[in-house]
Chains A and B, each alone.
Chain A
């Protein structure tokens, strides 16, 4: 058997895949956080909860309405996105003029409420959600076995990240968003309804979290804490990548997933903290993050 650094090759590939999968979720979630932070100046602590709600909505669509995975990939983000939009209009917009801490507290409270409601209705052990038949089974790649659904998640995540990056960096709507991030009142004086742009951006960021939640549903157990477990790492990713940089969030997300995966092979005790160690080092060397611009 081929060995590298004393470890069998299939194990390394397995961990690489695991790292990329986790990285996919870090990337998708941190992108939404970065977009929301950039325009709203809100650190959305409810982002993990929205991810969880996305997974439960997919489950609910199937269980109560017989709507399957493919339709859920479209419907759940729309439902959660509209929900986010309403939250923004009802609550979040009231605190834009206040210190950033208020946004943090408000969204933290929202996350607690959503998680509490989910625990109340579904119990803390959660429910299970199956991958569609077309994506079940395992591919034999020679050097490793690849569960088809996992391969699908990685490809889907890469496409989602690319499309989001493209929309923000290369389109006219993205230019409005970037400009409004820098100077909202000037953009508004040009005739753009900036409050509406902000609400839509929050809805879109939250929809992105929900989309990641649907993709995660067949991989992990769908439970009220699934977002909370992930979100600490996602915040570290955003801090490392630099608040507000989409490309940075994507690269850092995948990169840290992979680092975490390999740490698990070579120094298992460290896998839970490696991301935070990296964060500490990056903050010492580059306080604005790897891809952040110093304000």
Chain B
């Protein structure tokens, strides 16, 4: 579904991604693991067209997107949930939820979303940023579920959240997968990732250094922990 080859990305003068290669197949949950500053967020931003300069190849359903503007990438059916969650303070919960335009048929309906996230219904009218961190994270994911985007890029959805909430987010992502969405997940918490993902890519200094199928994760835990510095 998504094939990234030889991806390079720059912020002004600093060269951050150095020829990344990976792929995500339809229906998979794939994670990008790596230390802080390894280039995981930059990888997601590069796919969306949100870095100043990039080179290489980003093919989505066979279409080359490496030179596409962010709105074109969004229109093709890739939904993005950024690291800081990107909830708009000037918009109510419902306005935040309804903001992304529908880009393809087959997204979840508002009723389905409200069933999955009852809090978002209860707090529909409050400003988006008045929600708790966990609720904001759910809102940030929920709003890309209704657009019809089939590939979701989630940047550290569990960052800074309490263990109970992390568990809820985990259930949510499992449900999303069950409904046929494809997910590219950036995580530092690989215990969390191991419960959801099919495969893991390990990123170091802007390059993919390893790919681990989830069933091998247990056996390679020690090696991985050393790599991630945990």
Residues of A within 8 A of B (CB): 172, 175-176, 178-179, 181-183, 185-194
Closest to B80 in A: A189
Shortest beta-carbon distance from B50 to chain A in Å: 5
A179 — which chain B residues lie within 8 A by C-beta?
A: 88, 90-91, 95, 99
Which residues from B are CB-within-8-Å of A188? 69-71, 74
Q: Is the CB of A182 within 8 A of B90?
A: yes
Q: Could you list which residues of chain B lie within 8 angstroms of chain A, going by C-beta atoms?
A: 48-50, 69-71, 73-75, 80, 82, 86, 88-91, 95, 98-101, 103, 144, 147
B70 to A182, Cβ gap below 8 A? no
With A175-B98, A188-B71 given, can you name 15 additional A-B contacts, CB distance below 8 Å?
Answer: A175-B91, A175-B99, A176-B99, A179-B90, A183-B86, A188-B74, A189-B71, A189-B73, A190-B80, A190-B100, A190-B144, A190-B147, A191-B147, A192-B74, A192-B101
Partner of B88, one of A172, A182, A185, A194: A182
Q: Which residues of B contact A190 (CB under 8 A)?
A: 71, 74, 80, 99-101, 144, 147
Contact B88 A178 (CB under 8 A): yes
Inter-subunit contact B71/A186 (CB<8 Å): no
Distance between A173 CB and nearest chain B CB, rounded to angstroms: 11
**A191 and B71 in contact, given A175-B98, A179-B99, A183-B86 (Cβ under 8 angstroms):** yes
Please, which residues of chain B bring their CB within 8 A of the CB of A181?
90
A176 nearest in chain B by CB position: B99
> What residues on A are CB-neighbors of B69 within 8 Å?
188
CA distance A190 to B146 in the complex (A): 12
Of chain A, the residue at the smallest CB distance from B95 is A175
Give the residues in chain B near A194, CB-CB below 8 Å: 71
The CA of A190 and the CA of B74, in the complex, are separated in Å by 5
Closest to B50 in A: A185
C-alpha gap A92/B19 in the complex (Å):
36
| 22 A–B contacts from the bound complex (CB under 8 Å) | A175-B95, A175-B98, A178-B91, A179-B99, A183-B86, A186-B86, A188-B69, A188-B74, A189-B48, A189-B49, A189-B50, A189-B70, A190-B99, A190-B101, A190-B144, A190-B147, A191-B71, A191-B75, A191-B100, A192-B71, A193-B71, A194-B71
Q: List chain A residues, Cβ under 8 A from B48.
A: 189
Closest to B100 in A: A190
Smallest CB separation, B74 vs chain A (Å): 3
Query: Which chain B residues border A175 with CB–CB below 8 Å?
Result: 91, 95, 98-99
Which A residues are in CB contact (< 8 Å) with B74? Answer: 188-192
Identity of the chain B residue whose Cβ is nearest the Cβ of A196 in the assembled complex: B71
In this complex, what residue of B is CB-closest to A190? B100
Given A192-B71, A193-B71, verify A187-B90 contact (CB < 8 Å): no
Residues from chain A with a CB closer than 8 A to the CB of B49 are 189
Among residues of A, the one whose C-beta sits closest to the C-beta of B103 is A191
Once the chains are docked, how many angstroms separate the CA of A291 from the CA of B71? 32
Instruction: List B contacts of A187 (CB < 8 A).
Output: 99
Contacts of A172 in B (CB 8 A): 98
